[in-house]
Amino acid sequence: MLARRHQVSLALTALLTTAAACQARDHGPADRPGRAAPPAARGFTLVASGDILPHATVIDRARFDAGGTGYDFRPMLEGAEPVVSAADLALCHLNTVYGADGDSTAPPLASPPEIAAALAATGYDGCSTASGHSLDDGAAGVRRTLDALDAAGVRHAGTARTEAEGNAITLLRAGPANVAHLAYTQDTGGRPLPPGQPWAVGLADQDRILADARAARKAGADVVVVSLHWGTEWQDAPDDRQVALARALTASRTDGRPDIDLIIGSSAHVPQPYEKVNGTWVVYGLGDQIAGEMFNRQGLQDARGAQSTVARFTFARPARPGGRWEVRRAEFLPQMFDIDAGRVVDLDQALAQGAGVAGVRDRIRDVTLSRDAAAAGLVSGER
């Protein structure tokens, strides 16, 4: 039975990889080499995806894909590449640190630094790095992770090697707009901040987040995006702390303009709802984009740990200078990580090609829309 399931997984992945390869890559940020600058009148599209959490089986697959020497994570991300590369700005969430000299065994959830190159090749422009695993290897793990992302040309927010970096605002170009990416975690997995380095990881303190958002505006941000590693693991619905913080952050305004334009959540290991709160979109949890076999709080293997959505928001220019860039289209795209094949799968595309994934796709859709997001304008996206 397992062998047959593996064969089905590989066949499905082969179909999707072939289809993805046929799609043109003629869109993306204006500042990417070879990409034409967008018309000044248009807005921009932002996509964000869930936790990248490579367990040992995922790392083994990357080693196999590399031919047994080193690690190649690019093939497993090919299913996400058409959506990611077509966006003006693409953000991911890195939920591990990189091990010493590529060591993927210590600390427990360390990852090979080759992931950074794969993220860049897929089209990601930046990653949030604040999570419960940020300090798994202390300050050294933070440094290695950010060094690898820098070398790959992937921007980052949420952790820092120096005080100046911790206080800096990550500004990214998205078509005609400057977008600030801020990132925070509600905890560090019980690990203390490095001595004398309170800036090493951004903690999800309401006052700190709002102060940073206002500083981002002063630094020239047209749009402020906040990534939050928060919530209760394995819980489909947002917990009370998530809801309260979302309401407080989206209610904050300066001179009548919201301080935050979008909130993107991670950490729960399962897809959570989207909701428009005080006129601002909040994604409580995207789920895990890449993860191995996951076990829930009851110790049972839980397939939801391989399910996620990609959020895609299209922003329109403000009607007047200094006004808010409004989301004119909000979309979600359901995904799963095929653990057997080691590949990201777009569920709508898989369903269109006859794969039996309707139940998974429908469950993700039901959770995503469970807080009246459809009435607020959220729709299922297409490639």
pLDDT score at 101: 58
CA pair distance 217, 259, nearest whole angstrom? 8
Query: What share of the chain has pLDDT > 90, as a percent?
Result: 83
Distances (CA, A) of 351 to 14, 354, 359: 14, 5, 10
| DSSP states along 318-358 | -SSTT---EEEEEEEEEEEEETTTTEEEEHHHHHHTT-S-H
Closest CA to 181 of 190, 170, 168, 197: 170
| Mean pLDDT, residues 105-112 | 68
Above 50 in pLDDT, residue 15? no
CA pair distance 238, 230, nearest whole angstrom? 9
C-alpha dihedral, 205 to 210 to 211 to 214, nearest 10°: 160
CA pair distance 135, 190, nearest whole angstrom? 9
pLDDT score at 41: 61
Above 60 in pLDDT, residue 11? no
pLDDT score at 128: 98
| Mean pLDDT, residues 149-153 | 97
Q: What is the mean pLDDT of the chain?
A: 89
CA pair distance 121, 85, nearest whole angstrom? 9
Closest CA to 130 of 101, 103, 74, 91: 91
Query: What share of the chain has pLDDT > 70, as a percent?
Result: 87
CA pair distance 278, 259, nearest whole angstrom? 12
- Write the single-letter amino acid at 368: T
CA pair distance 88, 43, nearest whole angstrom? 9
> Which residues on neighbouring strands pair with residue 280, listed in sequence order?
277
Above 70 in pLDDT, residue 40? no
Q: Which of the two residues, 78 and 7, has the higher pLDDT score?
A: 78
pLDDT score at 19: 44
Above 80 in pLDDT, residue 320? yes
pLDDT score at 382: 83
Is the Cβ–Cβ distance between 172 and 126 less than 8 Å?
A: yes
- Write the single-letter amino acid at 157: A
> Which residues on neighbouring strands pair with residue 28, listed in sequence order?
none
CA pair distance 65, 59, nearest whole angstrom? 10
CA pair distance 332, 342, nearest whole angstrom? 22
pLDDT score at 109: 65
| Mean pLDDT, residues 39-56 | 87
Closest CA to 365 of 355, 295, 351, 353: 351
- Write the single-letter amino acid at 111: S
pLDDT band at 8 (very low <50, low <70, confident <90, very high): very low
Above 70 in pLDDT, residue 20? no
| Mean pLDDT, residues 28-57 | 70
- Write the single-letter amino acid at 294: M
| Mean pLDDT, residues 280-302 | 95
Model confidence pTM above 0.75: yes
Is residue 86 left, alpha or beta, with left meaning phi > 0 and alpha meaning psi from -120 to 50?
alpha
- How many helices and strands (H and E) does the chain possess? 10, 17
Residues 6+ apart with CB under 8 A from 196: none
**Cβ density class 89-127: b for 16+ within 10 Å, e for less:** bbbbbbbbbbbeeeebeebebbbbbbbbbbbbbbbbbbb
pLDDT band at 220 (very low <50, low <70, confident <90, very high): very high
Query: ∠ CA 203-208-211 to the nearest 5 degrees?
Result: 150
Tell me the domains of the chain and their CATH numbers. 2-380 (3.60.21.10)
